[in-house]
Chains A and B, each alone.
Chain A
């Protein structure tokens, strides 16, 4: 028996591999909740401009940016709910770019503290 035959959709009909990989998108309420979290995280980012967090500033800002980035990609762009193939395509470019430019910046000693 194939994987496609084992999946049964809401209508009781066999679902294809593709439709099984595509879960339901979030409800508008959930989108608003994610939007509010994103707003809160942005407010925290802006707060670092007014509150001195010392050497924790850069890690804090990068941490907040990564969380915001992930929330938008996973929920608003639906990578969490869609086929993992899309995520692989996107991660390929993202990881490729991050690796390439990190090597460039290290080569130019950007992170070297003298």
Chain B
């Protein structure tokens, strides 16, 4: 028998935040966030596939090997990974209702995110100076669109993190701030896992030489 009685969300102390008066018994916001992330897989899947499809098809340079600085991008990858760690530490603090530590970890996450985006801006500027623009060749087009979209996602994440800090400072977050922090965290970790794939496919796997004329 599956006659599940869902109690209103004002249960006994210590009750899970997953107790909700919804048909699934799960919070709709969290389910919607997972559906959104699921749809984002389609978006980034399209961009990554397009990059892979045109790999090594550029007729003119600069080619990936001419511009990529792997040690530099590796540091950026470490920074983004570290931001995922600070994000979960912010969530752990929010679950303990330690507001001060939660704000600090959120700020640290935003700062690491800013470092990553700053690094990407520097990288784009350097590539442009070396002659690679979005219209130079197929590599330039697919590279800038893919990593640019990812950078925009990171920037949106930073804005969400700073909004959380601002709302918390203005006492406009609920006493149990774990839920909004968890939602922003899910988005943040998603941009991290997208970067894990981009770093491997775009930067680490060597691209074949110039396309035959």
Chain A residues within 8 Å of B, Cβ to Cβ: 2-4, 9-11, 13, 15-19, 21-22, 25, 27-28, 31-32, 34-35, 38-39, 42, 45-46, 48-49, 57-58, 61-62, 64-65, 68-69, 72-73, 75-78, 82-83, 85-86, 89-90, 92-94, 96-98, 100-101, 104-105, 108, 110
Contact = CB atoms under 8 A, between A and B. Distances in A.
A101 to B, nearest CB: 4
Given A69-B196, A76-B84, A93-B39, A2 B25 contact: no
A65 B18 contact: no
Contacts, number: 169
A19 B18 contact: yes
Contacts of A61: 200, 204-205
Contacts of A100: 42, 45
Contacts of A83: 18, 26
Interface of B: 1-7, 11-16, 18-20, 24-26, 30-31, 34-35, 37-42, 44-46, 48-49, 52-53, 55, 70-71, 74, 77-78, 81-82, 84-85, 87-89, 91-92, 95, 182, 185-186, 189-190, 192-193, 196-197, 199-200, 204-206
B37 A90 contact: yes
Contact of A46 (B74, B84, B89): B74
A92 B38 CA distance: 7
A104 B116 CA distance: 31
SS class, residues of chain A in contact with chain B: helix
A38 B81 contact: yes
B49 A28 contact: no
Contacts of A22: 16, 18
Contact of A65 (B25, B89, B200): B200
Contacts of B14: 9-11
A49 B199 CA distance: 12
Given A90-B38, A101-B48, A105-B49, A73 B193 contact: yes
B34 A90 contact: yes
Contacts of A3: 2, 4
A57 B205 contact: yes
Contacts of A98: 45
A12 to B, nearest CB: 9
Given A18-B25, A42-B77, A100-B45, A89 B35 contact: yes
A31 B11 CA distance: 29
Contact of B189 (A16, A39, A46, A76): A76
B30 to A, nearest CB: 7
B19 A16 contact: yes
Contacts of A46: 70-71, 74, 204
Contacts of A90: 34, 37-38, 41
A21 B26 CA distance: 10
Contact of A42 (B30, B74, B193): B74
